[in-house]
Amino acid sequence: MTVSAPAKINLSLRITGKRDDGFHELETLVLPIESLADELTFTESDQFSLHCTTPGVPTDESNLISRSLRLFEKESGFACPYEIHLTKHTPHGAGLGGGSSDAAHTFLALNELTKANIPLETLAAWAGQLGSDIPLFLYQAPCWCRGRGEIIEPTQLEWNRRILLLKPAFSIPTPWAYSRWKESRELPGVSYTKQTACDQILVNDLERPVFEKFQFLAELKQFLLEQTETEAAMMSGSGSTVFAILKDNADAEGLLGSTLGELDPTMWHHITPASDSH
């Protein structure tokens, strides 16, 4: 069995306070990016093993895929002796949820392969033990997520805009970004105001702490906002990906070329088709 594990962007991410458990209280709207996805291939074997050809991706028990499989075995009582091959397309540390999506789709695949028929809400509770943003990927739809991310409400979202995603070589640790949120300040000359696209309000409270230290991302966002092709531009999650939502009939490849040429020709990039998501 081969499954696709799509990335996501946060169209909106508001931090509404600090919780007693140390996490932050969130309200975020997440949009799956179907055209950008890792692939997981499950093959029956004598014992579990994980393989990945991408350098730097751990394939031991520390990987979220491994941890998901072990947790599924423990909670469901089903043995899962599968050889899993991971093909990475979503970059690591990008604010695109690649590892979390891999973990969620491991739960979904094992539930189908073992015929365990675990309800989705139960899988979500298990997934939440491993990471706050893993459960949302189980729903395979745009979602509003609240609490620390565990309160999930799938939503209908009419989305017909192409999106340009850009990520520089560096990554940003999510816990660091949240830890700096309260004390951070806005940079002069950088727009943090709400934007609108496809009738959705776009805002990201984590831009403030991240831009303060990684000013290239602020420069990237401002450059994209100044281009005629761009309807809105924002950082996704805790970064380091910045995305531009494109106007109808905008020249996406032209915008990509000018951005790479002006700022950093080595940036990772992806352009979605107009009907990419739900």
Positions annotated as catalytic residues are 8, 133
Q: Provide the Cα torsion 157, 158, 161, 167; round to 10°.
A: 10
How far apart are the C-alpha atoms of 90 and 117, rounded to whole Å? 29
Candidates 83, 92, 105; CA nearest to 54 is 92
- Helix runs in the chain, H state only: 64-76, 98-113, 120-128, 174-179, 207-213, 215-225, 252-262
Candidates 182, 183, 242, 177; CA nearest to 206 is 177
How many CB atoms within 10 Å of residue 4? 13
How far apart are the C-alpha atoms of 93 and 244, rounded to whole Å? 19
Candidates 224, 210, 214, 212; CA nearest to 188 is 212
How many CB atoms within 10 Å of residue 16? 12
Query: CA–CA distance from 169 to each of 166, 269, 273 (Å)?
Result: 10, 11, 24
Whether 214 and 172 have beta carbons less than 8 Å apart is answered as: yes
